């Protein structure tokens, strides 16, 4: 029997760990690159002037009140969050070093989706492909329509790009009926994956154990599990064959957990020189 490939490791929010002040910053990014992770995951938001920045939340405090990040210019954003990276900066830092896990946190105006190439999500994906190459990145998002737009565009352009629909969005504060509807759609995601054309299954670790991992296997799609941080959970998910990629706030611990399993073929390549392995092309 052919040995199973090791599970790949993605550094969540540039590998900031439990320090939220370091999320999506250069300090965290450099630490992740020093670990030679297979992917670096980062969140991408869009300012009102079109500048893409690394930031998780869709708002920040301005003069004592919440302001939607999408309503702020880059100048206004950077005046209050100067230590966060611009999208162009992180792409340049990753080029030729390791692969990008781009988690898009914004959506386009509704009318833009009639022409996928005109959407903001495709503009971000296009730029990443230009800098890194389609085989050196994955794109994930919580939004079905965004997945469909990027998939349709990538097919039109002939790019073999992995685009994942993320399952496990926060339902805090929503009415109970909406919470139930969202969770059912995540535990039984066949229709959403068919309509969005996602070719990468992306699931919170709890949902993955509750059946989404089995769904990915049945569909023949690679599985990305997020965000796995405890030693016991990492030992479970880093077992070869359980997932394709695991995202962790503690990538060093994830790499240690992976090293606890027999190495595939020649073992792990040298630090800072590794390239993540891409699964064979799989149809949704």
- What is the distance between the alpha carbons of residues 118 and 93, in angstroms, rounded to a whole number? 27
Q: How far is CA 175 from CA 80, 172, 178, 269, 274, in A?
A: 33, 9, 5, 49, 46
The pTM for the full model equals 0.90
Question: Strand pairing partners for 164?
Answer: 140, 200
Looking up tokens 């938001």, which residue turns up? 45
- Domain layout of the chain by residue ranges: 8-259
Q: What is the pLDDT along the chain (284 residues), one digit of tens a residue?
A: 566 899 999 999 998 887 888 889 999 999 999 999 999 999 999 999 999 999 998 888 887 888 899 999 999 999 988 889 999 999 999 999 999 999 999 999 999 999 999 999 999 999 999 999 999 999 999 999 999 999 999 999 999 999 999 999 999 898 999 999 999 999 999 999 999 999 999 999 999 999 999 999 999 999 999 999 999 999 999 999 999 999 999 999 999 999 998 764 434 443 444 444 444 433 33
CATH topology of domain 8-259: TIM Barrel (3.20.20)
Cβ neighbours for 212, distance < 8 A, ≥ 6 positions apart: 167, 186, 187, 189, 201, 203, 223
202, 219 Cβ separation under 8 angstroms: no
Q: Residue 163's closest CA among 196, 117, 119?
A: 196
pLDDT the model gives residue 268: 43
- Radius of gyration of the CA atoms of the chain, in A: 18
164, exposed or middle or buried, with CB in 10 Å at 0-12, 13-18, 19+?
buried
Instruction: For residue 45, give the 3-state DSSP assignment.
Output: strand
């Amino acid at each position: 029997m052919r040995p199973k490939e090791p599970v790949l490791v993605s550094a969540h929010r540039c590998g900031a760990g439990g320090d939220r002040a370091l999320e999506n910053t250069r300090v965290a990014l450099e630490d992740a690159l020093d670990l030679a992770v297979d992917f670096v995951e980062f969140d991408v938001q869009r300012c009102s002037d079109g500048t893409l920045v690394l930031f998780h939340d869709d708002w920040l405090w301005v003069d004592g009140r919440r302001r939607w990040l999408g309503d702020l210019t880059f100048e206004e954003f950077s005046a209050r969050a100067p230590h966060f990276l611009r999208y162009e900066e992180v792409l340049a830092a990753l080029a030729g070093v390791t692969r990008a896990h781009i988690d898009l946190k914004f959506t386009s105006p509704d009318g833009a989706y009639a022409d996928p190439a005109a959407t903001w999500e495709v503009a971000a994906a296009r730029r990443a492909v230009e800098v890194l190459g389609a085989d050196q990145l994955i794109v994930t998002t919580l939004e079905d329509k965004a997945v469909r737009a990027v998939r349709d565009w990538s097919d039109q352009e002939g790019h073999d790009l992995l685009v994942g629909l993320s399952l496990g969005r926060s339902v805090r504060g929503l009415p109970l009926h909406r919470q139930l509807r969202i969770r059912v759609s995540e535990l039984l995601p066949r229709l959403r994956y068919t309509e969005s054309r996602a070719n990468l299954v992306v699931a919170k670790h709890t949902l993955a154990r509750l059946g989404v991992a089995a769904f990915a296997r049945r569909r023949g799609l690679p599985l990305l599990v997020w965000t796995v941080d405890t030693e016991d959970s990492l030992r479970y998910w880093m077992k070869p064959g359980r997932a394709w990629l695991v995202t962790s706030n503690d990538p060093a611990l994830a790499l240690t957990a992976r090293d606890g399993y027999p190495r595939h073929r020649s073992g792990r390549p040298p630090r800072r020189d590794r390239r993540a392995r891409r699964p064979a092309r799989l149809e949704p």
